[in-house]
């Protein structure tokens, strides 16, 4: 038996040494495996007695729950002359609610091990709760206070107003913010909500009163203008009664969003240069009006943009970072919204190579309109498909994804079909949507940098007329901040 044992040991050692001697095959990179499938639990739909729609996804295994109240109200509904009302309303909802002041409310939420937040964008306002299931009853009561019974104390409004005005002063030293503000205004103008910051400007912030916040909340935060999303370790049987208890008496209202002005596409190429004397870098934004989220070309555009500038191995990043060394990173994105959001290609490059970087940007914007290689297509599709399930790892992640489903009224099977839809995109699809959405001859170019260094080389490129602006032209005069009471 001892001889047999020794013989087996020697044989195994010989096999191991042979395998070690051969080593792994490094002649080619390993091929990616098959994209993982995404199969979410069923999306269930209910309605509370007051008409509030409830979207429920059960996710058991971890005893936590995410509750998101999504309200169809944002900066697009700001009253005339009161830019920032929606954003301030959401912010102030956390500064005292129900019978608790701001500090007492924060203490009560922390005591439960929960988190509650409120925010507003251009079309939606959201109040979000994350809590252990064991504390759900108490957490829902606080959540309902924040959503339905905010106090809007004047002293807290003064403090938040001062914070935002101070922020506007700080923006003057932030080239990326300067570039974004100038870019959005160039695309959408001063009237459309997409063309102005959601936080408001000095004049509007100083004009907003507590009455404005109460009026906005009372008008739009209503059950017939909202959807409740619940994701986590709950079932309809044990959670719907809890929701009825805290939200069932919430009264319906009537609200109609104001019409938005039409969005016009960029007709020709132009350059806006915001002068920042002494800047070591130039911030670049190149773009035009894109497409809404509901476009039938959504999957094809995602794949196309992944090739152009939507991943680390994209053409833009490979060109400007890896080959030329002009920047730490370059990319592009389509900002999908209910109305056509912007398409933007962007980077921050060394001041001395601003013109050279622009040349490479326009080279790639033109080249993406030509047929892509099969290798690029497969790499982009795999990148999107393989990374997609990571967007659904937690109940908080799933809650955010369901918000998109609700906002754009997408079918319930959108998520489960997404990977197969991406993998079905063809080379001709990519070429078609690139030519449909990207036109290098009709874009806005915004540069924030040192005028005396970059203006002449940029003008020599012949991109179009150059309009030079100061920081005051973009943001207005620096605000005067009065001390909060």
pLDDT tens digit sequence for 232-260: 999 999 999 999 999 999 999 887 778 88
Q: How far is the C-alpha of 86 from the C-alpha of 73, rounded, in Å?
A: 7
What would the mean pLDDT of 54-77 be, rounded to a whole number? 96
Chain-centroid distance, C-alpha 28: 37
Residue 369, C-beta contacts closer than 8 angstroms, at least 6 positions apart: 431, 434, 435, 438
Give the residue extent of every domain in the chain: 44-247, 270-474
- Strand residue runs (E) in 121-225: 125-132
What would the mean pLDDT of 214-227 be, rounded to a whole number? 96
Q: How far is the C-alpha of 109 from the C-alpha of 90, rounded, in Å?
A: 17
Band of residue 35 on the pLDDT scale cut at 50, 70, 90: low
CATH architecture, range 44-247: 2-Layer Sandwich (3.30)
Residue 423 is encoded by which pair of tokens? Answer: 């993998």
Model pLDDT, residue 5: 52
Model pLDDT, residue 17: 46
What would the mean pLDDT of 22-37 be, rounded to a whole number? 68
Element (H, E) at 202: helix 202-207
Model pLDDT, residue 102: 96
Residue 404, C-beta contacts closer than 8 angstroms, at least 6 positions apart: 293, 410
Model pLDDT, residue 38: 78
Give the right CATH number for 270-474 from 3.20.20.80, 3.40.50.2000, 3.30.830.10, 3.40.50.300: 3.30.830.10
Same fold, 44-247 and 270-474: yes
Summarize pLDDT for 2-22 with one digit per residue, the tens: 555 555 455 555 545 455 555
Element (H, E) at 315: helix 315-317
Band of residue 37 on the pLDDT scale cut at 50, 70, 90: confident
Model pLDDT, residue 32: 65
Handedness of CA 220, 391, 56, 246 (dihedral sign): negative
**Locus of tokens 């191991």:** 16
* 327: phi then psi, degrees, rounded to nearest 5: -155, 165
How many CB atoms are located within 10 Å of the residue 263 CB?
16
Lowest mean pLDDT across 24-33, 50-59, 105-114, 254-263? 24-33
Chain-centroid distance, C-alpha 189: 21
Rg of the chain, C-alpha, whole Å: 27
More confident residue, 481 or 424: 424
**Locus of tokens 């907003």:** 208
Model pLDDT, residue 33: 66
How many CB atoms are located within 10 Å of the residue 135 CB?
17
Band of residue 308 on the pLDDT scale cut at 50, 70, 90: very high
What would the mean pLDDT of 370-387 be, rounded to a whole number? 96
Band of residue 421 on the pLDDT scale cut at 50, 70, 90: very high
Q: How far is the C-alpha of 83 from the C-alpha of 89, rounded, in Å?
A: 11
- Strand residue runs (E) in 213-302: 226-232, 270-275, 281-289
| Nearest-10 crossing angle of helices 136-148, 236-247 | 40
| Average pLDDT, rounded, for the chain | 93
Task: Kindly state the percentage of the chain with pLDDT values over 90.
Answer: 88
Q: How far is the C-alpha of 403 from the C-alpha of 401, rounded, in Å?
A: 5
Residue 52 is encoded by which pair of tokens? Answer: 């509030």
pTM across the whole model: 0.89
Cα–Cα nearest to 231, from 37, 38, 418, 44: 44
Q: SS3 for 460?
A: helix
Q: How far is the C-alpha of 444 from the C-alpha of 251, rounded, in Å?
A: 46
Model pLDDT, residue 321: 97
């Amino acid at each position: 038996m001892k001889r047999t044992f020794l013989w087996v040991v020697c044989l195994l050692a010989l096999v191991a040494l042979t395998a070690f001697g051969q080593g792994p095959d490094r002649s080619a990179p390993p091929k990616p495996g098959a994209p993982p499938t995404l199969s979410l639990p069923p999306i269930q739909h209910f309605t509370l007695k007051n008409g509030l729609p409830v979207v429920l996804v059960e996710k058991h295994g971890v005893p936590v729950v995410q509750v998101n109240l999504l309200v169809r109200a944002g900066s697009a509904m700001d009253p005339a002359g009161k830019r920032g009302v929606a954003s301030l309303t959401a912010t102030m909802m956390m500064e005292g609610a129900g019978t608790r002041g701001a500090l007492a409310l924060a203490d009560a939420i922390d005591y439960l091990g929960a988190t509650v937040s409120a925010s507003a964008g251009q079309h939606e306002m959201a109040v979000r709760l994350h809590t252990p299931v064991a504390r759900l009853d108490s957490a829902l009561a606080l959540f309902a206070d924040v959503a339905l019974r905010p106090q809007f104390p004047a002293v807290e409004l003064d403090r938040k107003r001062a914070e935002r005005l101070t922020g506007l002063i700080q923006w003057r030293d932030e080239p990326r913010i300067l570039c974004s503000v100038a870019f959005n205004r160039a695309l959408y103008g001063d009237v459309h909500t997409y063309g102005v910051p959601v936080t408001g400007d000095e004049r509007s912030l100083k004009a907003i009163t507590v009455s404005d916040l109460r009026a906005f909340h009372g008008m739009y935060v209503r059950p017939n203008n909202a959807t409740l999303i619940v994701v986590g370790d709950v079932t309809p049987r044990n959670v719907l009664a809890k929701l009825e208890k805290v939200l069932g008496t919430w009264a319906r209202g009537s609200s109609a969003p104001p019409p938005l002005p039409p969005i016009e596409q960029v007709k020709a190429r132009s350059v806006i240069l915001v002068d920042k004397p002494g800047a070591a870098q130039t911030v670049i934004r190149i773009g035009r009006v894109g497409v809404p989220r509901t476009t039938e070309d959504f999957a094809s555009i995602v794949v196309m943009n992944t090739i152009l500038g939507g991943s680390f191995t994209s053409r833009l990043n490979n060109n400007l970072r890896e080959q030329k060394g002009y920047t730490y990173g370059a990319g592009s994105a389509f900002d999908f919204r209910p109305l056509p959001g912007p398409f933007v290609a962007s980077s921050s490059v060394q001041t001395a190579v601003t013109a050279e970087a622009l040349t490479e940007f326009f080279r790639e914007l033109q080249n993406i309109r030509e047929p892509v290689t099969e290798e690029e297509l497969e790499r982009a599709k795999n990148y999107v498909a393989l990374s997609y399930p990571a967007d659904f790892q937690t109940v908080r992640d799933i809650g955010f994804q369901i918000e998109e489903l609700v906002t754009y009224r997408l079918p319930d099977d959108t998520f489960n079909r997404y990977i197969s839809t991406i993998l079905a995109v063809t080379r001709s699809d990519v070429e078609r949507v690139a030519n449909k959405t990207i036109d290098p001859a009709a874009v806005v170019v915004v540069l924030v940098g040192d005028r005396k260094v970059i203006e002449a080389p940029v003008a020599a490129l012949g991109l179009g007329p150059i309009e030079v602006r100061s920081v005051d032209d973009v943001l207005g005069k620096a605000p005067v901040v009065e001390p909060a009471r």
